[in-house]
Amino acid sequence: MTQYIHELSDWPNFQWRQEVLTEILANVRLKQGQLIGSMESLGFSQQNEAVLKALTQDVLKSSEIEGEILNPDQVRSSIARRLGIDIAGLTPADRQVEGVVEMTLEATQNYSEPLTKERLFGWHKALFPSASPSVQVGRWRDDAKGPMQVVSGALGRERVHYEAPAAERLDREMEAFFEWANRSGDIDPLLRAAKAHLWFVNIHPFDDGNGRIARAIADWALARSENRLRRAYSMSAQIQLERKAYYQILESTGKGDLDITDWMLWFLGCLDRAIAGAQASLGSVLERDKFWKTYAPLPLNERQKQMLNRLLDGSFKGKLTTTKWAKLTKCSHDTAQRDIVNLIEHGIMVKDAGGGRSTSYSLKQARI
């Protein structure tokens, strides 16, 4: 019979081999400092763009890990509005998007505030803004439907990846977690983020949403490690890229002993790759800023600005056609064609090779 980590007699006395982590921890710390330096070298509007991009990815990808696809424009607009960032083409967001954004910003913007039961209940209510008979919202689970299990597979052929502690243990388990999580100075802050994520997800105290809240807790701890509101990388986006490995290491650790060195190594490696990707993307922020300074004198309309921003930040997928332009900007086909022709005349866009019904367009600078 499988024994889970929380059933061990020394739970939750996690251990790790510090000497194994020393080198990668130093490297991640170095890259973290370099990224902060790069951010501080940017102008205020550029910093806003980098932060907006990172937070948008955090919200989108943390939900995507759980199989929930949110509207990128709604997420970006909701974050921009809440942070007071001026962007073109604000899109109204539905309650689900607003809730996930609210939780993410509450975690990262209020990083100096301690974690509490009431705070996590608030996050959970934000994740599930509509009453649902299938989810116990804003409170610890009661296991009325049976043990809390993480399963996969078709009905009748389910595979149990993990079984969480019984509901009767949750109050004391979470009290111990909060007492530790709100300390400072006992371990490196990056290791604290890794341990907090793992510890919480193994308690699995909610009926649903445990993964997203675990990642929000890690983001809270990472923000505390940097002691700053503006962060240009998204840990959740990197986890989504490495989703299979993420679930594998969580499962093996949940069924292992209290030596969590392998989890710590994986978490630090994932963080290292997230920071490296953000450092590279800051270059695109600078290019975008240069682009708008070049074409600032032109009288572009809001539709053109919206679509150009999509093309510049990489959020537009596939080839740009007149039909897609019309659909995304909610205008007629003729209006879309006039918008595009105007940008071609200004030397901003070009017609791609080919033609007919498959005619597409791209940014001129992207072809240089």
User: Which pLDDT belongs to residue 24?
Assistant: 97
SS (H, E, C) the chain: CCCCHHHCCCCCCCECCHHHHHHHHHHHHHHHHHHHHHHHCCCHHHHHHHHHHHHHHHHHHHHHHCCCCCCHHHHHHHHHHHHCCCCCCCCCCCHHHHHHHHHHHHHHHCCCCCCCHHHHHHHHHHHCCCCCCCCCCCCCCCCCCCCCEEEECCCCCCEEEEECCCHHHHHHHHHHHHHHHCCCCCCCHHHHHHHHHHHHHHHCCCCCCHHHHHHHHHHHHHHHHHCCCCCCCCHHHHHHHCHHHHHHHHHHHHCCCCECHHHHHHHHHHHHHHHHHHHHHHHHHHHHHHHHHHHCCCCCCHHHHHHHHHHHHCCCCCCECHHHHHHHHCCCHHHHHHHHHHHHHCCCEEECCCCHHHCCEEECHHHC
> What six digits make up the tokens of 54?
């990172």
Domain end, chosen from 234, 254, 285, is at 285
Instruction: For residues 213 and 65, give the distance between their C-alpha atoms in angstroms, rounded to a whole number.
Output: 12
Contacts of 282 (CB under 8 A, 6+ apart): 35, 38, 39, 42, 50, 232
Let me know: does 209 contact 148? Beta carbons within 8 Å: no
- Whether 49 and 189 map to the same domain: the answer is yes
The answer to whether residue 129 is domain-embedded is yes
- Whether 250 and 182 map to the same domain: the answer is yes
- Whether 278 and 344 map to the same domain: the answer is no
User: Which pLDDT belongs to residue 259?
Assistant: 98
- Whether 30 and 169 map to the same domain: the answer is yes
**Residue 308: which domain range?**
303-367
**Helices 210-226 and 44-65, axial angle in degrees (round to 10):** 150
Is the link from the previous residue into 72 a cis peptide, with omega within 30 of 0?
no
Q: What is the block-wise mean pLDDT of the chain (368 residues), using blocks of 10 residues?
A: 93 98 97 92 86 94 95 95 86 93 96 97 94 86 89 84 95 98 92 98 96 97 92 95 97 97 98 94 78 89 92 83 94 95 94 79 69
- Whether 215 and 86 map to the same domain: the answer is yes
Q: What's 316's domain CATH number? A: 1.10.10.10
- Whether 261 and 354 map to the same domain: the answer is no
- Whether 276 and 327 map to the same domain: the answer is no
- Whether 274 and 309 map to the same domain: the answer is no
Domain end, chosen from 255, 285, 315, is at 285
User: Which pLDDT belongs to residue 368?
Assistant: 36
Let me know: does 89 contact 61? Beta carbons within 8 Å: no
Q: How many domains does the chain have?
A: 2
Amino acid found at 330: K
- Whether 225 and 161 map to the same domain: the answer is yes
The answer to whether residue 275 is domain-embedded is yes
Domain end, chosen from 285, 317, 332, is at 285
Let me know: does 16 contact 188? Beta carbons within 8 Å: no
The answer to whether residue 13 is domain-embedded is yes
Instruction: For residues 196 and 205, give the distance between their C-alpha atoms in angstroms, rounded to a whole number.
Output: 14
Let me know: does 348 contact 363? Beta carbons within 8 Å: yes
- Whether 86 and 212 map to the same domain: the answer is yes
- Whether 108 and 175 map to the same domain: the answer is yes
